[in-house]
Structure 1
Amino acid sequence: MKRLFPHLFALLFAIVPLSWAQAGPKVLVKTSLGEITIELDEEKAPETVKNFLGYVKDGFFDKTVFHRVIEGFMIQGGGFALKEDGTIEQKETKDPIQNEAKNGLKNARGTIAMARTGDPHSATAQFFINHADNSNLDFPSFDGWGYAVFGKVVGGLDVVDKIAGVATGTKTLKARGGLGLREAAMDDVPNENVVIESIKVVTE
């Protein structure tokens, strides 16, 4: 029996450090269709998480909408605000951040990643939640970069499914460009607005 003790202690020391692994910050996304809890990975995507939390703490995402929804692909939001007159208008953002898609995190179902333009380093505030495993978006993807994952849904994946399943169509939104705001027809916009009421930090 005595010979077993060293092995038992070795097993304990091998297991205990795993229990010390600290979870990342969590945010609660309150939407018109339910709540989603997201855990952020500030170890793998430090700049992206810092940027996202900055917008969260500024209240930037409050009363924005999921403006692009494709079932079996992703739900995208964080950039267009629902105005009092019912119009949807793209918000002004801070400077873009560097793409952290090389961090090893995959665009798997339930993960959150930064949306961007064709410029790999153009992400600002818009994000998307993957509704399916989208390995084609992983680094290096088609453009040598991919889309930076910075967290995952840990509660409310059923709400993501509900949002992904809403009816969509073409709507005219007010988008920002070189000449300021202009009306633009966009596809895959929910017929009935899916509003992000607020995003709040619940644990840091």
Structure 2
Amino acid sequence: MKTFYTLTALAFLAPLVSAANPVVEMKTNLGTIKIELFEKEAPGTVKNFLQYAEDKHYDGTIFHRVIEKFMIQGGGFTKDMDQKKTRPSIKNESANGLLNKRGTIAMARTSEADSATSQFFINTVDNSFLDKAEARDGVGYCVFGKVISGMDVVDKIKVVRTGIKGGMRDVPAETVEIISVKLVKD
């Protein structure tokens, strides 16, 4: 009878295991960050991010905007501050119920709600003003994952010295490179 219950429990849990969220590994010159992506809550955003990763778009880009008590932003510029070409923008999925808490990853965008392409940011503190419910524009910024290991690396990045470079503020004085972003768990 015990075997029956064990097998029944395993049969019940099997779909939960196979429905696990994808995980990416982001290697930087300051260490590795692993990020779980919330495919169910932000399907279009996760698909977009994974496509950029698969295309190696992020490889060799930098964290070009770093604000210690806010976030670290990357995915759009090379070391020479050249902006990378992107695919068309995606629909903002900020109404998914996920919040801009410390350690979450969200899509960067312009003032246009549906303007996100490749750039993302990792929240270094809770940023509730970026959530749909509190956003001034009523839209907010789409959270689509969270750091599951390597928050110490995020904390190293957030305190690098910054300045103005290429006409942009808050750029790290010493390059913080994203060496690669790869799917490690499907």
Settle same-fold status: TM greater than 0.5: yes
> Segments of 4+ in structure 1 off by > 6 A?
none
For residue 158 of structure 1, give the secondary structure of its aligned residue in structure 2: helix
For residue 95 of structure 1, give the secondary structure of its aligned residue in structure 2: coil
**Which residue number in structure 1 is paired with residue 23 of structure 2?**
26
For residue 115 of structure 2, give the secondary structure of its aligned residue in structure 1: coil
For residue 76 of structure 2, give the secondary structure of its aligned residue in structure 1: strand
**Which residue number in structure 2 is paired with residue 102 of structure 1?**
95
**Which residue number in structure 1 is paired with residue 157 of structure 2?**
163
TM-score, structure 2 as length reference: 0.90
In structure 2, C-alpha distance between the alignment counterparts of 1:51 and 1:103, rounded to whole Å: 16
In structure 2, C-alpha distance between the alignment counterparts of 1:81 and 1:54, rounded to whole Å: 18
For residue 90 of structure 1, give the secondary structure of its aligned residue in structure 2: coil
User: Is the deviation greater in 20-29 or in 188-197?
Assistant: 20-29
**Which structure dedicates a bigger proportion of its chain to strand?**
1
- CA displacement at 1:200 relative to structure 2: 0.6
RMSD: 1.7
For residue 99 of structure 1, give the secondary structure of its aligned residue in structure 2: coil
**Which residue number in structure 2 is paired with residue 88 of structure 1?**
81
In structure 1, C-alpha distance between the alignment counterparts of 2:110 and 2:32, rounded to whole Å: 28
- CA displacement at 1:20 relative to structure 2: 3.0
Counterpart AA for 1:200: K
1:3-152, aligned counterparts within 5 Å?
A: 20=16, 22-82=19-79, 87-140=80-133, 141-152=135-146
How far does the alpha carbon of each residue in 1:66-120 deviate from its partner, in whole angstroms, 9 at most, with x for none? 00000011000000012xxxx2200110000000000000000000000000001
Structure 1: gaps spanning 5 or more residues: 1-8, 173-184
- CA displacement at 1:48 relative to structure 2: 0.1
Counterpart AA for 1:156: G
TM-score, structure 1 as length reference: 0.83
In structure 2, C-alpha distance between the alignment counterparts of 1:155 and 1:32, rounded to whole Å: 16
